[in-house]
């Protein structure tokens, strides 16, 4: 997360339910007009699926006049039916963090235009088939893909800056493949299932993953437990 010196202001809005308002005392960002367009287009996408209760909350962090972080959250409010992003999101050239929670996305959306993107969190979605990382820019440092129903991950291109990769509570049973060798700076990989595994099985899964990785000093966890 960003410190208070970087995040000088914040905007919060609820799509389809209330107008864009400031949560803290701050002047309008340079991206304000683009933000209103994005809000409108996201609402239009949701109106295409009224039967699916598509009305996620949209939280935006702004600093230095630019949108730095976008969080689309369908938990509890309803992100069902939302399976693509409005084209207007690509106007936010300074985006550094992106979160997509509890929607109907089946793959990672195209985030390659965001050249400065550092952290991506995509959780509680409904991914199908092998999940490809080709839609991520090389600037990514932290990638959270937990609780997405993932059975396999394919690292299509090198992500030279990725250091933290969270794949907890998916359907991989601790298995990874040789494409993970395209992550030269990976420092920590979490493949915990959240199930009640024995210590021996947790160790076996972690060691098996380490054998696949070309970078042998990566920290691998397979033993985290969860309450949700």
**pLDDT (tens digit per residue) in 136-186:** 999 999 999 999 999 999 998 889 999 999 999 999 888 899 999 999 999
Tokens of 172: 């991989």
Which pLDDT belongs to residue 39? 86
- Contact predicate 81/55, CB 8 Å: no
Which pLDDT belongs to residue 45? 77
Question: Would the pLDDT of 18 be above 60?
Answer: no
Question: Would the pLDDT of 88 be above 80?
Answer: yes
Which pLDDT belongs to residue 19? 34
Residues 48-68: what's their mean pLDDT? 76
Instruction: Assess if residue 121 is contained within a domain.
Output: no
Confidence of residue 69 (pLDDT cuts 50, 70, 90): very high
Reduce the DSSP state of residue 100 to 3 states and report it: strand
Side-chain half-sphere of 62: how many Cα atoms within 13 Å?
A: 24
* 94 & 153 share domain: no
Instruction: Assess if residue 122 is contained within a domain.
Output: no
Distance CA 94, CA 29 (A): 12
Instruction: Assess if residue 199 is contained within a domain.
Output: yes
* 15 & 94 share domain: yes
* 100 & 10 share domain: yes
Between 197 and 76, name the one with better pLDDT: 197
Range 168-204 burial, b when 16+ CB lie within 10 A, else e: bbbebebebeebbebbeebeebbbbbeeebeeebbee
* 100 & 134 share domain: no
Which pLDDT belongs to residue 23? 38
* 93 & 12 share domain: yes
Question: Would the pLDDT of 3 be above 50?
Answer: no
Identify the CA nearest to 59 among candidates 105, 117, 7: 7
Instruction: Assess if residue 17 is contained within a domain.
Output: yes
Identify the CA nearest to 218 among candidates 203, 227, 206, 226: 206
- Contact predicate 186/218, CB 8 Å: yes
Q: What is the extent of the structural domain holding 89?
A: 1-104
Side-chain half-sphere of 23: how many Cα atoms within 13 Å?
A: 14
Instruction: Assess if residue 134 is contained within a domain.
Output: yes
* 58 & 151 share domain: no
Instruction: Assess if residue 120 is contained within a domain.
Output: no
* 50 & 138 share domain: no
Q: What percent of the chain has pLDDT over 90?
A: 49
* 83 & 143 share domain: no
* 77 & 148 share domain: no
Q: What percent of the chain has pLDDT over 70?
A: 77
Q: How many CB atoms lie within 10 A of CB 63?
A: 20
Instruction: Assess if residue 139 is contained within a domain.
Output: yes
Reduce the DSSP state of residue 180 to 3 states and report it: helix
Plot region of 169 (φ>0 → left; ψ -120 to 50 → alpha; else → beta): left
* 210 & 158 share domain: yes
Which pLDDT belongs to residue 93? 92
pLDDT tens digits, 97-136: 999 998 889 999 999 999 999 999 999 998 988 999 999 9
Distance CA 183, CA 155 (A): 8
| 145-150, Cβ contacts within 8 angstroms, sequence gap of 24 or more | 145/108, 145/170, 146/170, 147/123, 148/122, 148/123, 148/124, 149/125
Domain count, the chain: 2
* 88 & 154 share domain: no
CA 1 to chain centre: 13
| Reported pTM | 0.83
* 220 & 138 share domain: yes
Question: Taken in order 60, 95, 190, 148, is the CA torsion positive or negative?
Answer: positive
**Which uninterrupted H or E stretch holds 204?**
helix 199-212
């Amino acid at each position: 997360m960003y410190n208070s010196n970087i995040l000088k202001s914040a905007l919060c809005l609820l799509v389809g339910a209330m107008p864009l308002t400031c949560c803290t005392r701050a002047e309008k960002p340079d991206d304000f007009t683009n933000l209103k367009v994005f809000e409108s287009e996201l609402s239009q996408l949701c109106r295409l699926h009224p039967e699916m209760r598509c009305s996620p909350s949209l939280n935006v962090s702004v600093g230095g006049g630019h949108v730095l972080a976008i969080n689309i959250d369908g938990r509890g409010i309803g992100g069902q039916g939302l399976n693509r992003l409005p084209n207007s999101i690509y106007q936010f050239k300074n985006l550094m963090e992106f979160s997509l929670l509890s929607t109907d996305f089946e793959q990672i959306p195209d985030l390659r235009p965001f050249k400065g993107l550092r952290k991506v969190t995509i959780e509680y979605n409904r991914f199908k088939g092998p999940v490809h990382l080709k839609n991520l820019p090389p600037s990514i440092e932290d990638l959270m893909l937990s609780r997405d129903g993932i059975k396999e991950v394919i690292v299509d291109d090198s992500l030279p800056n990725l250091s933290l990769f969270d794949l907890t509570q998916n359907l991989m049973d601790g298995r990874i493949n040789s494409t993970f060798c395209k992550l030269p700076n990976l420092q920590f990989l979490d493949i915990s299932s959240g199930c009640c595994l024995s210590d021996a099985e947790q160790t076996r899964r972690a060691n098996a993953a380490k054998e696949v990785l070309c970078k042998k000093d990566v920290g691998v966890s397979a033993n985290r437990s969860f309450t949700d």
